[in-house]
Amino acid sequence: MANLIRLEIVTPDRNLLSEDVEYVGAPGVSGEFGVLHNHTPFLTALSIGSLFYKKEGRKYFVFVSGGFTEVTPTKVSILAEVAEKADEISIERARKAKERAEQRLQQEKEQIDYARAKAAMARAMHRLRCRDDAVSAGTCSM
């Protein structure tokens, strides 16, 4: 099929994904961005959140946390610090991480590493949302 774009996602541990897709939406540090075939080249740092791509009309979700994206007219390369496909996300682990972060954030700000606790909270919430979105899209089982 014409007008596809190559999406590659790697982390320090593994090559997570390499697919020809119709569209990629990702969480950049300056906001969400979307990429179709023939996009102007750019580089951006990644935030914490869900990346999604469309393939054969279906929408797939991947959790990403930190790293960089390079976009060229034919390719999106994601070098993520951490990434999981929606169906790899453990809901139980994310719920526990969220509870731990909530408990930490209830303590006095001076007594904890506030930024670290907020980031842990954001990772847990985005993992849960990523899974929910994938289940709603029908590309991940409950």
Where on the chain is the footprint of ligand ATP (CB under 6 A)?
65, 82, 84, 88-90, 93-94, 97, 120, 123, 127
Q: Closest approach of Cβ 32 to ligand ATP, in Å?
A: 20
Nearest approach, Cβ of residue 131 and ligand ATP (Å): 9
For residue 134 the two structure tokens come to 């994938």
For ligand ATP, the closer of residues 32 and 81 by Cβ is 81
Q: Which is nearer to ligand ATP, 120 or 134 (CB)?
A: 120
DSSP 49-100: EEEEEEETTEEEEEEEEEEEEEE-SSEEEEEEEEEEEGGG--HHHHHHHHHH
Q: Which is nearer to ligand ATP, 4 or 128 (CB)?
A: 128
